[in-house]
Structure 1
Amino acid sequence: MPLATQIAPHLPFLRRYARALVGSQAAGDRLVEATLAAIVADPSCFPAGVAPNLGLYKCFQAAFDADALEPVEVDAGNSFESVAAARLAALMPKSRQALLLGAMEGFTVTDSAWLLGCSEDEVRAHVAQALADIERQTRARVLIIEDEPIIAMHLETIVRDLGHDVTGIATTLTEAMSAFHAEPPGLVLADIQLADASSGIDAVKAMLAERPVPVIFITAFPERLLTGERPEPTFLITKPFQVPTVEAAISQAMFFNSTARIGG
């Protein structure tokens, strides 16, 4: 099977990782493009004998390391990007990468150690440091938009265990907007398909039209958002989810104060 065919399914997830890593869709996509250009120019740089996604992320790591001394691209007019840049400066890159590779991308400690070129103990230490640093910098009031009661309660427990407050749990677009206006949240966790056949996407668009707020989509239908075309949500979790994945996404969303970036 051609290499391009093997790595194609993993590109949307690499773009997600790159955006979360550098805090900017433009800068993240630039690194992904540099990764693909390097593979096209020299296919032998792609590691042999490893899974396609692991090899792709290893090539991305090389592009990231080569780019590490360049400043993060920040739009001076975008306060969220400015917040991300300031917080990135306070968090060591290896800690940020170790956290995202494990909790968000699902790589094992062994795989993360290989990708980062360090020991497994160092990976664990990096993750612990990243979580401690992020916890010190972020606290939020969270609105949960989810029509499945058990899932909503599970998310509420995760949010509260992280030290955040839950402003409300909405099951429809109308309930979501009422909760949004009653107590403006600092973070929104949103499903796509809601109880009355309304759309979590529409709810998020309406909220973002009023004011910016970080959003994490948690859905069984990721294909509705991971289209490979811009714009896409910065944070997207697929159901059924793992608790560490949600915890990492919440921490990263608050760390970067990043909006969903969907819709026109």
Structure 2
Amino acid sequence: MSNTTKGLSEQLLATLPFLRRYARALTGSQNQGDQWVRLCVEVLLQQPELMQDSASSKVDIFALFHRLQRPFGALVRTGDDTDTGTAPQRLQVQIGEIPDRQRKVLLLTVLEGFAVEESAHILGITDDEAEQALRAARDELRRVASVKVLVIEDEAVIALDVAKIVRDAGHQVVGIAATESTAVALAEKHAPDLVIADIQLKGHDNGMAAVRQILKSMSVPIIFVTGFPERLLTGEGIEPAFVLTKPFDPDLLKTAMAQALNIAAI
């Protein structure tokens, strides 16, 4: 193996978990997101010259990903259900108005931490266009409808911070659970529209186990938070579509909530 090929493989391995996280968040689907990522990786390994003279390997891998699958297309609701009475349905109508470019810029900046200029390069647009898209998307996020949110988090300070972000985004926190049993009980009592769950709880409790129990009795979008997303996104077994890295800023959580609820309402 040449040094170039070896270096490219190392770059891909380091970037892959985050590219998969982004693709899943953008599509709302593990299968669809991973399918595009696999295509990107296969082409890049077959044609390493595509990465020659790269100024930033991670940025250019993301840019290549978009060139290979462009465009994703707007997320379109299927069927002819026009009932917009529930909170998630009202939210879908509002978030659905956000153009595809704005959603991508939001996720690239607040989920993956790229600068606006890097996001512009990834999407093949100007810096001004990316900046305008980011401002417009944030304006749309402020108009979202209120939904019921359950927080599963055993660290009190973090739980309160998450709850504040949720409320600042205009949503209602119906409960904060520090254990699996409490989470399941609160979900049964309040039927939340969204669950935000830490992966690792104190003792032997686990946020993913709590979520599995909740999903047995209801269908609800889930956002997982963890300090080590690359350990969760291994490509082995069923994995969540929405994974946030601790610590995260308010814009990141607000964007993830809007995107998760938008997908759920489609």
With the length of structure 1 as denominator, give the TM-score of the two structures. Answer: 0.84
Q: Does 1:40 align with 2:74?
A: no
Change (3 A) 1:14 1:137: same
Change (3 A) 1:44 1:86: farther
Q: Tell me the residue number matched to 2:16.
A: 11
Displacement of 1:223: 4.9
- Check whether the contact 1:31–1:64 (CA below 8 A) recurs between aligned residues: yes
Q: RMSD between aligned alpha carbons?
A: 2.7
Displacement of 1:239: 1.7
Q: Does 1:24 align with 2:24?
A: no
Q: Does 1:178 align with 2:185?
A: yes
- Check whether the contact 2:21–2:233 (CA below 8 A) recurs between aligned residues: no
Change (3 A) 1:85 1:68: farther
Q: Tell me the residue number matched to 2:85.
A: none
Structure 2 alignment gaps of length 5 or more: 80-88
Q: Tell me the residue number matched to 2:56.
A: 51
- Check whether the contact 2:17–2:229 (CA below 8 A) recurs between aligned residues: no
* Greater relative contact order (Cα < 8 A, sep 6+): 2
- Check whether the contact 1:185–1:213 (CA below 8 A) recurs between aligned residues: yes
Among 93, 96, 99, the alignment partner of 2:100 is 93
SS at 1:210 equivalent: coil
User: What is the identity, as a one-letter code, of the residue corresponding to 1:139?
Assistant: S
SS at 1:168 equivalent: strand
Q: Does 1:117 align with 2:131?
A: no
Displacement of 1:113: 1.4
Change (3 A) 1:224 1:114: closer
User: What is the identity, as a one-letter code, of the residue corresponding to 1:184?
Assistant: A
Q: Tell me the residue number matched to 1:232.
A: 239
With the length of structure 2 as denominator, give the TM-score of the two structures. Answer: 0.83
- Check whether the contact 1:142–1:168 (CA below 8 A) recurs between aligned residues: yes
User: Deviation per CA, 1:22-76, whole angstroms, max 9, x where unpaired?
Assistant: 23322222221221232133221125232221111011010122x546x979998
**Identity fraction in percent:** 37
Could you tell me how far apart the structure 1 residues matched to 2:178 and 2:189 are? 16
Could you tell me how far apart the structure 2 residues matched to 1:31 and 1:200 are? 28
Could you tell me how far apart the structure 2 residues matched to 1:140 and 1:106 are? 27
Change (3 A) 1:75 1:33: farther
- Check whether the contact 1:139–1:254 (CA below 8 A) recurs between aligned residues: no
Mapping for residues 104-183 of structure 1, pairs under 5 Å = 104-136=111-143, 138-183=145-190
SS at 1:190 equivalent: strand
Could you tell me how far apart the structure 1 residues matched to 2:242 and 2:72 are? 23
214-223 vs 106-115, which moves further: 214-223
User: What is the identity, as a one-letter code, of the residue corresponding to 1:241?
Assistant: F
Among 252, 255, 258, the alignment partner of 1:251 is 258
Structure 1 alignment gaps of length 5 or more: 77-82, 259-264
